[in-house]
Structure 1
Amino acid sequence: MKRVTSADGTRIVYDRHGEGPPMVLLHGDATGKEYWKPVTPLLSGEYTLTISDRRGRGRSGDTEPYSLQREIEDARAVIDSVDGEPVVFGHSFGGLQAIEAARDRAVRAVVAYEPAILVGEYREQADLAARMQERLDAGDPEGAMKRHVKEVIHGGELEGAALDEWLEEWPVWPEYVTFVEDSVRMNRALESYELPERIDLEAPTLLLTGTEAPSHLRDGVRAAHESLVDSRLVEFDGLSHMGPNEAPEQVVETVRSFLAATDAEATTD
């Protein structure tokens, strides 16, 4: 276990695995770095992986007041802890962290699986944080987190008994409920985030999405693709928002191909 201190003094904990050039993995609204377990053995033979816990999750600390900018600073602190310019690979909220952190850090490449970006009419009407807070205020943290899972993972299409059955098979439930207050503040920050019209990263970016993901996340990844000056968008048939867990080999192979292509382009320039 290693640690780095973020700009506001918060302790961010991370682990290192493997050998090779550096890659930083940033998880989304998961319980912690364990989200990356299916991916880690596939990448650790090729990369030195730095896998961190977000603030308020796993073994990392937390400091009030919360803000998206502080989460971005956490990602930058982790990036600064590695030797050389890393590939930064983020999922969901971690995907947004990866993109924003790379605006102010030298990285080899950015990979983002469905970065948590809300756009258009969906963003204008977004009220998930308020609806979750309503259940929290009523003394129902489990109900609040069910609203989060229903919206973020299932796009509002799974509810009632069907949602309960799915949750019974989900390995991180009910531990996931303990992070409900963190999820509320995260959603509130995402509802306020506005995607810039143009994002000119120095590093190439790979954006990933699945055909079974919620429509608002698919809209967000397409909007990010339009904003980023140098990006490639790949869509996986049949995968949901949890694609890196559902089909880690397929996702990793796509990442490998992208990085090999960008290295080849850099060599010929």
Structure 2
Amino acid sequence: MDTVISKDGTQIAYKKQGSGPALIIVSSAAADHLEASQLAEHLTAQFTVYNYDRRGRGQSSDTAPYDVKREVEDIEALIEAAGGKACLFGSSSGAVLALEAANLLGDQIAKLYLYEPPFIINDSRKPVPVDYVQHLNSLIDDGKRSEAAEYFASEALGIPAEFIEYMKADPSWNKMETLAHTLAYDGLIMGTTQSGKPLPDSRWIIQAPTLIMTGENSEPLFHDAAHALVKLLPNAEFHTLSGQDHSAVVMAPDVLAKAVADFESGKLAYLSRSFADS
């Protein structure tokens, strides 16, 4: 993997592949660049893809104290390596980090592709606890990585306890434990947007063309969040991926990549804003 150095000296590792306009993949919580490797492969027909490990993950280093702006600076360093302008693709909490980057970096962002930002804006799901980040950090400080991963799965993902026990028996749980110290990072990125209250009107001032996607089979909260966000962004459109759910980055990367490529080329038959407003 290649590397860039962020403003605070953090080394950010990335894999570059493909040809065409630059697109940076921003991973979700508890994921490194490997989760999006198949998506990256599918996108290479249309883009020069920069698939990177967020700070504290994989082959990237980390620098304390954490601040969301430092993660935006990581993306900015990748954009500079890409020639000064790039599209961003973000999934789940990574979509919210991509939003923050677009808000701060302005014209450096050509387009935004967002898959299921996990905002909780109504009573479709219980809010994340107010002390969520503090509790995660406390568990990590005590060396309780598995407990931190379990708390994330329960409170942030809303997974019932009986299913978490099945998850803990899967080898992928080990990876979640390895990345557990970064779960609080995504909690800070989400801020108060998982509190059950409407999205703030003025948090993101973004002019870049934006495609907001959800899976047809995903929970109502993701559809509600997407509809709310598309109303706030002046150049946003909404699209549903038939038959998909929140796992589409891993389970249906070809479907996601086609939607991104079609939007890039202007061929996507997206749902109209009038539908999103209904």
TM beyond 0.5: yes
Which structure 2 residues correspond to residues 65-144 of structure 1 after superposition, within 5 A? 65-83=65-83, 85-103=85-103, 104=105, 105-119=107-121, 126-133=130-137, 135-136=139-140, 140-144=144-148
What SS does the aligned partner of 1:39 have? Answer: helix
CA contact (8 A) 2:40 2:51 kept: no
User: TM-score, length-normalised on structure 2?
Assistant: 0.80
Equivalent in the alignment of 1:165: 166
Q: Which runs of 4+ in 1 moved over 6 A?
A: none
RMSD: 2.8
Which structure 2 residues correspond to residues 1-269 of structure 1 after superposition, within 5 A? 1-83=1-83, 85-103=85-103, 104=105, 105-119=107-121, 126-133=130-137, 135-136=139-140, 140-153=144-157, 155-156=158-159, 158-160=160-162, 162-169=163-170, 172-192=172-192, 196-198=200-202, 199-261=204-266
Name stretches of at least 5 consecutive residues in structure 1 with no aligned partner.
Answer: 264-269
Q: Distance in 1 between matches of 2:142 and 2:24?
A: 39
Aligned length: 259
CA contact (8 A) 1:201 1:229 kept: yes
248-257 or 181-190: bigger deviation? 181-190
**What displacement does 1:56 show?**
0.6
**What displacement does 1:133 show?**
4.7
User: TM-score, length-normalised on structure 1?
Assistant: 0.83
CA contact (8 A) 1:54 1:71 kept: yes
Structure 1 pair 163/106, CA: closer, same or farther in 2 (3 Å)?
A: same
Q: Distance in 1 between matches of 2:218 and 2:90?
A: 16
Structure 1 pair 91/258, CA: closer, same or farther in 2 (3 Å)?
A: same
CA displacement 1:39-97 (0-9 Å, x = unmatched): 12211232211111111111111111111121122112212220363221111222122
Q: Distance in 1 between matches of 2:148 and 2:50?
A: 32
**What displacement does 1:5 show?**
2.0
Kindly provide the amino acid, as one letter, of the partner of residue 183 in structure 2.
Answer: S
Structure 1 pair 181/244, CA: closer, same or farther in 2 (3 Å)?
A: same
Q: Percent identity?
A: 27
CA contact (8 A) 1:123 1:191 kept: no
Name stretches of at least 5 consecutive residues in structure 2 with no aligned partner.
Answer: 269-278
Q: Distance in 1 between matches of 2:73 and 2:190?
A: 16
Structure 1 pair 214/144, CA: closer, same or farther in 2 (3 Å)?
A: farther
Structure 1 pair 60/135, CA: closer, same or farther in 2 (3 Å)?
A: closer
CA contact (8 A) 2:113 2:210 kept: yes
CA contact (8 A) 1:22 1:84 kept: no
Q: Distance in 1 between matches of 2:69 and 2:120?
A: 17
Q: Distance in 1 between matches of 2:193 and 2:144?
A: 27
CA displacement 1:177-220 (0-9 Å, x = unmatched): 12222212431442346954144423200011224445444443
What SS does the aligned partner of 1:115 have? Answer: coil
Structure 1 pair 248/29, CA: closer, same or farther in 2 (3 Å)?
A: same
CA displacement 1:222-245 (0-9 Å, x = unmatched): 322121111011223443322211
Equivalent in the alignment of 1:266: none
